[in-house]
Structure 1
Amino acid sequence: MADQVTGAPPRELPDHVTTPLLTLITARSMDEDYAHVAQKRAAAGDTRAQTTHPHWASLVAIATLGVLAAVVAVQTDRQAEVNELSRAALVEQINSRRDDLRGLQGEVATLASSNQALAANSTLVQERLDDIATRVRRAELNTGYAAVHGPGVRITVDNRPGVDVDSEIRDEDLAVLVDGLFEAGAEAVAINDQRINALGGIRNTNRAIHVNGRPVNPPYVVSAIGDNRTLQARLLQTTEGQEWFALVNGLDFDYSAEDVDDIRLPAAPERPLRDVIELNADPDGVPEGEGSAP
């Protein structure tokens, strides 16, 4: 306060006030250590100079460190060049692989599009094949070239014992019964497991009856697949059915019929087609409207 009143210059503060606390503590600690060491040496009579010179081993170590630093610097420069070359090579490989990847992605897209087109076409072809297979199965059923089963009627007819030849069952008698069954609604008919179809037939050879060219013997079992609730009744209503029952009563055939829940009929034997002509063709095989003058 007196300095401020009189205008005298401010006094400088001592070092222990202006020095940072951490620096002051470190310096004092080191000074005290040096002083303690010096006192020990003086007590022991050590008169060696307090100043020391660098030891030759320190010089060697410093030189070695310098050499190692130079080697490290050279290796660092070389490694930098190698790293730069490696980086450039990696970038080139990445760009090349990126181009290859684009090409492969384009091929994948093309193949995927082609696969979709093939799948759609395959589905269409499969639908056509399924439709054709259905039509073939239907045609085989209608023509008798496929085995079938279902409810129906089984009729057994035989000659009475001791009848003469003129009173025996003949091929035309069985043909009347088969025609009546088809007209009554039968879907498939067989005689003694010989399936009746358009290419088959019932023929007499002397006293033997042949169905599809194969001999059959009495009793004759006529199996017909159809609605067994109405088939026998509808047979009586047909012209052929009435004719058949007239033969049964007139020639005294042994006749029996039963409704069956499941009848199995084999397929008709296949026969090769011969001399087939279209329905709208003339006898020469040329369809109508072709080869004629307008």
Structure 2
Amino acid sequence: MADTRTGTPTAPGEPDAGRRLPEHVTTPLLTLITARSMDEDYAHVAQKRAVAGDARPRAVRSHWSSFLAIAALGVMAAVVAVQTDREAPANELSRAALVQQIDTRSDDVRALQADVARLTRFNASVASNSTRTQTDLGDVDARVRRAELTTGFSPVHGPGVRITVDNRPGDEVDGEVLDEDLATLVDGLFEAGAEAVAINDQRINALGGIRNTNRAVHVNGRPVNAPYVVSAIGDPRTLQARLVETYQGQQWFGRVNNFGFVYEAENVDDIRLPAAPERVLRDVIGLDAEPYGGPAQEGSSP
């Protein structure tokens, strides 16, 4: 046969193109399976309810349930809105209080930061002053040590000459070594370049002295006995030669020849001398001090 609309012949057994095809033929397979399974489930549930005698319309229950749910939600929203409206002033006050606290804390933090910066600058200044003070103290310590060395109030050691002096053998009066003899030798050694001198381990300095008490010789107020060991720290290569050239050295060697003193000298690589004993100053005061120990005031009369 031929198609009456197009005149196109159709094959035997082929359905008429003018007829409408069933829905299950034109619907996609996946959609058809899903729809039919859902319809069959609903039909099965409806059949069970009909057998059980539950003939109430389900749409009405669902409508009232939805209405009640919406009404409950509305009531809850209204309660929440009222509660929020009531709490708004309190919340605003709390917010203002928090803002004020934040501002106050910010001011405190800025003040603390300013204090930290000030203390940091102060610490840097103190550290700088401490460094300068330590430098000054180091200089003062060096000056004190040098002063102790030159004044004899510090033990010292170094190369030098050791001289042994003794009385003339067999003559207890005319051949005795007196304080003035030892003083002449010590003065000659200092003039020859000695830096430190001691007699029988008694250091000679400006506050000490050599003197006779009766027939005993005292150095720094302490008795010393013959033989007298005079130790002098200085250049051992030139100290003895320069001693002969000095005025006191010539006087000393003249006495040695006249009175027959025993005189022996030797160079020593390392001589150790003790410090001179300290003495309390009772009458000496500083130029800028009051006579009774107080500091002199500016403008006061001497």
TM-score using structure 2 length: 0.70
Question: Which of 228, 235, 238 is residue 236 of structure 2 equivalent to?
Answer: 228
Offset at 1:161? Answer: 3.2
Tell me which residue corresponds to 1:49: 55
Tell me which residue corresponds to 1:274: 283
Q: Distance between the aligned counterparts of 2:37 and 2:78, measured in 1?
A: 38
Judged with a 3 Å threshold, the aligned counterparts in structure 2 of structure 1 residues 159 and 76 are, in CA distance, closer, same or farther, namely same
Tell me which residue corresponds to 1:261: 269
Is 2:165 aligned against 1:157? yes
**Which residue identity is paired with 1:234?**
R
Judged with a 3 Å threshold, the aligned counterparts in structure 2 of structure 1 residues 50 and 199 are, in CA distance, closer, same or farther, namely closer
**Which residue identity is paired with 2:218?**
H
Gaps of 5+ in 2: 6-20, 288-300
Q: Distance between the aligned counterparts of 2:42 and 2:83, measured in 1?
A: 43
Q: Distance between the aligned counterparts of 1:125 and 1:202, measured in 2?
A: 42
Question: Which of 218, 224, 229 is residue 210 of structure 1 equivalent to?
Answer: 218
Q: Is the 8 A contact 2:49 2:55 kept in 1?
A: no
Is 2:153 aligned against 1:141? no
Judged with a 3 Å threshold, the aligned counterparts in structure 2 of structure 1 residues 141 and 38 are, in CA distance, closer, same or farther, namely closer
Offset at 1:77? Answer: 6.4
Tell me which residue corresponds to 2:17: none
Offset at 1:137? Answer: 2.4
User: Pairwise mapping of residues 54-93 of structure 1 onto structure 2 (< 5 A)?
Assistant: 54=61, 62=69, 66=73, 86-93=94-101
Write the deviation string for residues 261-282 of structure 1: whole angstroms up to 9, x where unpaired.
Answer: 222222222332536798xxxx
How many residues get paired? 268
Judged with a 3 Å threshold, the aligned counterparts in structure 2 of structure 1 residues 18 and 98 are, in CA distance, closer, same or farther, namely farther
Q: Distance between the aligned counterparts of 1:114 and 1:264, measured in 2?
A: 49
TM-score using structure 1 length: 0.72
Query: 203-212 vs 67-76, which deviates more?
Result: 67-76
**Which residue identity is paired with 1:183?**
E
**Which residue identity is paired with 1:51?**
P
Tell me which residue corresponds to 1:94: 102
Judged with a 3 Å threshold, the aligned counterparts in structure 2 of structure 1 residues 100 and 19 are, in CA distance, closer, same or farther, namely farther
Judged with a 3 Å threshold, the aligned counterparts in structure 2 of structure 1 residues 41 and 248 are, in CA distance, closer, same or farther, namely same
Query: SS of the residue aligned with 1:165?
Result: coil
Judged with a 3 Å threshold, the aligned counterparts in structure 2 of structure 1 residues 17 and 123 are, in CA distance, closer, same or farther, namely farther
Q: Cα RMSD over matched residues?
A: 4.1
Q: Provide the identity percentage.
A: 69
**Which residue identity is paired with 1:142?**
T
Judged with a 3 Å threshold, the aligned counterparts in structure 2 of structure 1 residues 39 and 139 are, in CA distance, closer, same or farther, namely closer
Is 2:124 aligned against 1:116? yes
Q: Distance between the aligned counterparts of 1:213 and 1:200, measured in 2?
A: 8
Q: Distance between the aligned counterparts of 1:74 and 1:198, measured in 2?
A: 105
Write the deviation string for residues 186-239 of structure 1: whole angstroms up to 9, x where unpaired.
Answer: 001111121112222211222111112221111111111112232222222323
Judged with a 3 Å threshold, the aligned counterparts in structure 2 of structure 1 residues 256 and 26 are, in CA distance, closer, same or farther, namely same
Q: Distance between the aligned counterparts of 1:84 and 1:184, measured in 2?
A: 100
Query: 76-85 vs 195-204, which deviates more?
Result: 76-85
**Which residue identity is paired with 1:54?**
R
